[in-house]
Structure 1
Amino acid sequence: MQAGKYKRIVLKLSGEALAGNKGYGIDPETVERIAREIREIKRTTELEVAIVVGGGNIWRGLAGSSKGMDRATADYMGMLATVMNALALQDALEHSGVDSRVQSAIEMRQVAEPYIRRRAIRHLEKGRVVVFASGTGNPYFSTDTTAALRAAEIEADVILMAKRNTDGVYDCDPRQNPDAKKFTELEYIEVLQRGLGVMDSTATSLCMDNRIPIVVFSIDEPGNILKAACGENIGTIVGGMKNDG
């Protein structure tokens, strides 16, 4: 087993990460690749792994509300999209030989367990991967905020933000400005003050208050999830270890 600086991690996967190059829907090959990388984490380390999935590959609440739909209704639809992604990921994990559970913040007992903090921690301690779906169960809160909240609740050591089309945090969009500067380390307050878009401000503030580091890295390169989980210096790290101060 590889030794690392983390014991329990939260991996944040956007809906777009599950869509692959298609940009929408669920790409089975991409989901299977992610599942294999998580299997490698479980095979080679003693890490406890929780995952928070987004739903932007299927539905975005903000997009719906911008076209006149009631915001709460649009957000609930987005939460249902995250359940679809979570079930697809669970299926791929199980086919890869990884024992997993989906916990939903909105009760739907036929397809997922209800989110119960102590039960989630128990699953992790038994070596199961827990996939959190339905966001926080409340409209107006993003799945980034869900990742920060769940990480605080289960006392995770770090949040790994797997991003598409970027390998870290830049001072401006590198696709538009070839002189964009990549940060290797940032403080939470810098992210908030400069509006760097690592997470939304609610999620970043929650991480800052609970001293939960955030590692932003590219999911496009195979093997990066394992590297980030083992504490290798890839991407950008926001904040320090929880016991730094």
Structure 2
Amino acid sequence: MHVVLSIGGSAINPKGEPDLDFLKSMAQIIKKSKNKFGILTGGGSLARVHARAARALGASEYEADAIAITSTRQNAQLMIAALTAAGVKTLNRVVADFEDAKEPAKENKAAVMGGTIPGITTDTDAVLLAEAIGAERLVNISNVEAIYDSDPRHNPGAKRFKKLTYDELNKLAAESDKRTAGTHFVFDMLACKLIARSKIESHFVSGKNRKDMENAIEGKKHSGTVVKS
């Protein structure tokens, strides 16, 4: 089975610099699994800092997006380095686009890419990657342990969801989608529509919980959120 991992920059560099323990742990989880993987890395705080700086210098939103995308590709290179060090058969370069991902995803244990074009979030990129390689499962790994109806970091009373339908997820995403580089979504609205059209089972877990990541990848029970019909 092919599984796509959408790994948020918040999991890769949670404090503004790479979390080597997370990268090594992620590589070991992938090595242990019998699945094949398409991996999409986000930019996280690095992307937000660069996007803000670009705007402060007078850059357009398109230009801010383009600068943020470079951060996602840097994180992709770090993921490749971790996988290679763990002995995982991996394409030794960042995949350029979705067509470019098809053959490497078949021939390797893992193929890794970052963001693609301005205006498209890495959430959406991850779902498009899943569609391109025929993945049956998508696992979103971030610094939040599940999907909530509002940001739990700012609202202690936020409602946590164990299961959601595609329609329910779409509603939540629509309420928080601002479509600007580096902003926080429950999961990007366009990405939600895409997983619904292709009926891709999607799991949302925290990068701090290794057991949840392992179980989500294998389609087993975990403490995060599962989205399906």
Give me the TM-score of the superposition, normalised by structure 1: 0.79
Q: In the alignment, what sits opposite 1:189?
A: 167
Q: In the alignment, what sits opposite 1:32?
A: 24
User: 1:95, CA displacement in angstroms?
Assistant: 0.6
2:140 equivalent to 1:161? yes
Match of 1:125 among 99, 106, 130: 106
Go from structure 1 to structure 2 and tell me whether the alpha carbon gap of 1:169 and 1:64 turns closer, same or farther (over 3 Å shift): same
In the aligned structure 2, how far is the partner of 1:49 from the partner of 1:36?
A: 13
CA contact 1:26–1:57 (8 Å) conserved in 2: no
In angstroms, what is the RMSD of aligned CA positions? 2.2
1:112-171, Cα deviation, whole Å (9 max, x unpaired) = 454362x533323334200012x12x211111110111111111112101121x221123
**Count of matched residue positions in the alignment of Structure 1 and Structure 2:** 216
Unaligned runs of 5+ in 2: 177-184
Q: In the alignment, what sits opposite 2:219?
A: 231
Q: Secondary structure at the match of 1:11?
A: strand
Match of 1:152 among 131, 154, 175: 131
In the aligned structure 2, how far is the partner of 1:233 from the partner of 1:212?
A: 17
Unaligned runs of 5+ in 1: 1-6, 103-110, 241-245
1:41-94, Cα deviation, whole Å (9 max, x unpaired) = 2xxx2x111100011232236534653422122111111111211111111111
Instruction: Report percent identity of matched pairs.
Output: 27
1:198-237 correspondence to structure 2 within 5 Å: 198-234=186-222, 235-237=224-226
CA contact 1:9–1:50 (8 Å) conserved in 2: yes
2:97 equivalent to 1:115? yes
User: 1:239, CA displacement in angstroms?
Assistant: 2.1
In the aligned structure 2, how far is the partner of 1:90 from the partner of 1:225?
A: 18
2:53 equivalent to 1:75? no
Go from structure 1 to structure 2 and tell me whether the alpha carbon gap of 1:167 and 1:56 turns closer, same or farther (over 3 Å shift): closer
1:86-125 correspondence to structure 2 within 5 Å: 86-101=76-91, 112=94, 114-115=96-97, 117=99, 120-125=101-106
User: 1:224, CA displacement in angstroms?
Assistant: 2.5
**Quick check: which has more Rg, 1 or 2?**
1
